[in-house]
Structure formats: structure tokens, C-alpha cells
A and B are shown apart, each in its own frame.
Chain A
């Protein structure tokens, strides 16, 4: 336990700026969207107008979660890589356990931006007079945001620890391979296959469904 605490303390020291920046951004997103899309609306507006004010919440949150989780995953790996991983490997702790600790610390610290989004959601809801038909779902939104962060973090973390310094090349290779393939399938593929593939990827329980479904802070 004391080993985990110490790894936690050092890893937090290296990632706190990124995590806290991510938390500030997460807190600010609902308010910013409301200021941009809904703040100038009359006091009493139709329910769908309120819902529409947050229509860009999904893309913004997905972008933030991908970037933030990537940074939080890469930073500690980079610090270990500066020592060519000699230091962690020379410590009397099995490598798998060390990596599990690194992962756990990242996963725990990502709760902070998720909590920040939850608080940011309540903060903006508190400023809006909601019609009876609408409900606020900041907890569900924050929970889903945490899962999105965790998924992106896990993918980045796994990529780093499998490919190491070649991770960038691996990502480029995947993008170069998947990108044109997706284009070809979309442009010239059998529409039925394209639809099946799309459903498999984007509809629950598809691997990307977490990102694809609409993100709602306020809904019926």
C-alpha cells in the first residue's frame, strides 16, 4: 500500500497540471456552451431550445476527453522512458504490478475532471429555469464522461506500454490503414455492409457507442 501511495504521489506531481487543466476545462464546458448558445435567450423559452443550446456538448466533451486522457497516459510513460525504464525495472516490484499501479493512478486521477464536469453541469443548471418537462442529468453525463476518459486513457496507455517509443508510428500506421479503408468501404462498399459495420461500431454495445450516442445534460 505504501508503495502505491508513493507511486501515486510522484505520478500526481507529474500529471497534476494536465489533470487540473482538464478539470477546469470540464467544469467550464457546460457554462461556456450555455453562454454561447442559450444565455441570450428570453427568460421563458421552449424546452427544445434549451436542449439545443447544448447540442455541441458531445463533440466538445469527446475532444477534451481524448486529448486529456492521452496526455495523462503519456506523461508518466515519458518520465519512465527518460530513464529508459531502467529505474522501474530495477525496483523490487514485478513489472506487471508496477504497470498496474501506473494505470490505477491515472484512472483514479481522471475522476477529478469527471467530478468537475458534474459540478459544472449543476452550476449551469442552477442558472436555468427548467420547464417541467425537462430534467437535468449531470451525474449520468459525468459518469459517461468518466467512462469516455477511461476508454481513451486505456487505449493510449496500452499503446504506450505495447509499442513504447514506436507508439506514434503505430498510431500513424493504424490511421493510414484504417482511414483509406473506411473511405473505400463508405464510398464503394455494399450499403448493407456499411450499415452493419456502422451499427457494430457505434451502437450499444459497440466499441465506440460510448462516444456516438447523444450527450445530454438536459433532456426530457
Chain B
């Protein structure tokens, strides 16, 4: 499997307050990769590092086969980027912004830009600084899509948008991906939104990637088990135990990752009685993943 983005053992530190630690992450070519994590977990910093806006302290980054930050400008010619906050020049109008952006990208499709401008109902002579948050988000997406980019990097593209605009933006994105087979890295803390469009998920927390797995596994592989006489031994488990809570003298609730039905036999062999296996919705799965990762970090400390 080839990777549009490959990050290995990345370290980056901003003073004592925050650090990206030993980050290894692979975004398969052609995937829509949901980059999940709570606010402040390091998603934006990772994105800025992989676009060459900042230099890592250690580790390697490859984007579309180009080494970052050394050859960032070569990779950026094939990357469409939508940051979390408006990054365009507020003093230009919509059409001036398109004209400015166009000259940097040989693959820029001006006809597509006009079509999207009309679809998004953006006024050509409106100043960028006067656009609403939704309009600004649409303009940034318009520019990224008109570039005919092989890789789209979208940092919280729908954050703060109303549901109607959010749906419009996501629809345009999905259409683009279907038509151009592009790879997408989309960061968000809105788990349900990612569920609808993503086929891979990476979860960041505290500057670390705590999980990276196909969406199908994320959706179906995390379960809450109701157990009686749960074993205390942790070694040799065929799944990953994310959290364990006792309820009463004999009962316990475990949240596990990588669950398959045949693993019930392992638990029975260990003396436990499996009383129930419950599906978690995506948001609960996300929360449990984070809880498990934080628990592991605390134990390691």
C-alpha cells in the first residue's frame, strides 16, 4: 500500500507546555483519513509540520513522495490546504483571491473556480474580510478544490459552520474525491461527521497518535463487555483493554479494542462469564480510546 503522507518518529517541542512525541502516522493513497482528537491535542501542529510550515526537531515526513520540509514547495504544488481559520488576505475580493491563488498552481482550474463560486453563492467583488465564517470556509475550499490537488489537507473545515453550509461543504468535498480519486486528511473533533465520510481514522491526544485504524475497525471493533468474575491478569489478552471498571463484588465492565466474537472463549477459559457484549457508538469509542491512552500514559509515568 502506498502512502500519500508518511510520518515517522516525529518530535517537535514548543517550550515545556506542548510537544509532539514520537509520532508515526501513515495516510494511505486514496483514503479519506479522519484526524481526530480533542482541542489542543496536536492536530493543527502536525498538519503544519507535514506542510513544511515548521521544522521538526526529529523524525521524517514524506508528502506525495517529497521530503518535508526540504522539498515542501514541490509537495505543496499538489496539496490543497484549508486551515481552521481564514488564512487569505482580507483586503482582496473573492475574485482577486482566486486570481492571486491561481498563479501559484499550474493545475488550477479557473472554470471550476467560477462554477464553485456560483454554487457557493459567493459575490465576486466582496472583500474577504467581510465574508461570514461560512462564506470564508467555502472560499478556502473553493481554492483548494480548484487546484485539482492530489492531496487535500483540511483542518477543521466545518468547525463553527451551520448545518446547511456544513452539508454543502462536505458534499462538494465528497464529489471532488469521487471524481479525482484524491487523498484527504481531514482533522476534526466532530466524530460523527468523520464517520460519514472517512475510511481511515487516526486519533491524537496530548501530542501522541493513540490509535490509527480503518474506520470499519473503529466502528465495530470497540466493545463494552459486561463480565462476571473478570480475570485480573492482563498479559496475553487477544484484544486491547482500554478501560476496566468494577461494579459490585463480582461484576465488571471492560471496554476493549480489536474485539472478535471468538475471543469470548478466551475470557471463559480465564474464568470469566461474559454477560453482554455491547456496541459503542463512534463518539463513545473515541472517548474510550482517549481514556485508555491517558490511563496507559499515567501508568507509564
Which residues of chain A have a CB within 8 Å of any CB of chain B?
2-3, 5-6, 10, 13-14, 79, 82-84, 86-87, 89-94
Sample of 18 further A-B pairs with CB below 8 A, known A79-B89, A90-B51: A2-B103, A3-B103, A3-B104, A6-B99, A6-B100, A6-B103, A10-B100, A13-B91, A14-B91, A83-B86, A84-B87, A86-B83, A89-B52, A90-B76, A90-B83, A92-B74, A92-B77, A92-B104
B91 contacts across to A, CB distance below 8 A: 13-14, 79
Chain A CB within 8 A of B53 CB: yes
A2 to chain B, nearest CB (A): 5
Q: Which of B73, B75, B77, B89 touches A83 (beta carbons < 8 Å)?
A: B89
Interface residue? B92 (CB, 8 A): yes
- The closest CB in chain B to the CB of A3 belongs to B103
26 contacts between A and B (CB under 8 A): A3-B104, A5-B103, A6-B99, A10-B89, A10-B92, A10-B96, A13-B91, A13-B92, A14-B91, A79-B91, A82-B90, A83-B88, A84-B87, A86-B53, A86-B87, A89-B51, A89-B52, A90-B53, A90-B81, A90-B83, A91-B76, A92-B73, A92-B74, A92-B104, A92-B105, A93-B73
A87 touches B87 (CB 8 A): yes
Provide the residues of chain A in CB contact with B51, threshold 8 Å: 89-90
Most chain B CB within 10 A, of A5, A90, A92, is at: A90
Structural contact, B89 and A87, CB atoms closer than 8 A: yes
Nearest Cβ distance between residue B51 and chain A, in whole angstroms?
Answer: 6
B: residues with CB less than 8 A from A are: 51-53, 73-77, 81, 83, 86-92, 96, 99-100, 103-105
User: How many angstroms between the C-alpha atoms of A92 and B53 in the bound complex?
Assistant: 11
Pair A94/B87 contact, Cβ less than 8 Å? no
Q: Which 6 A-B pairs have the closest CB atoms?
A: A92-B77, A92-B76, A86-B87, A87-B87, A6-B103, A89-B53
Which residue of chain B has its CB nearest to the CB of A13? B91
Give the residues in chain B near A83, CB-CB below 8 Å: 86-89
Chain B residues with CB below 8 A from A5, complex form: 103
Residues of B within 8 A of A6 (CB): 99-100, 103
Inter-chain CA distance A92–B69, complex, in Å, is 12
Cβ of B89: which chain A residues have Cβ within 8 Å of it?
A: 10, 79, 82-83, 87
Looking at the assembled complex, report how far the CB atom of A79 sits from the nearest CB atom of chain B, in whole angstroms: 6
**Residue on A with the closest CB to B88?**
A87
Closest CB in chain B relative to A91 CB, distance in Å = 5
Minimum distance in angstroms from B153 CB to a CB of chain A: 9
Interface centre among B74, B83, B89, B92 (most CB of A within 10 A): B89
B81 near A94 with CB under 8 A, answer: no
CA distance A159 to B213 in the complex (A): 47
How close is B248's CB to chain A, nearest CB, in angstroms? 54
Residues in chain A near residue B99, CB distance under 8 A: 6
Across-interface contacts of B77 in A (CB, < 8 A): 92
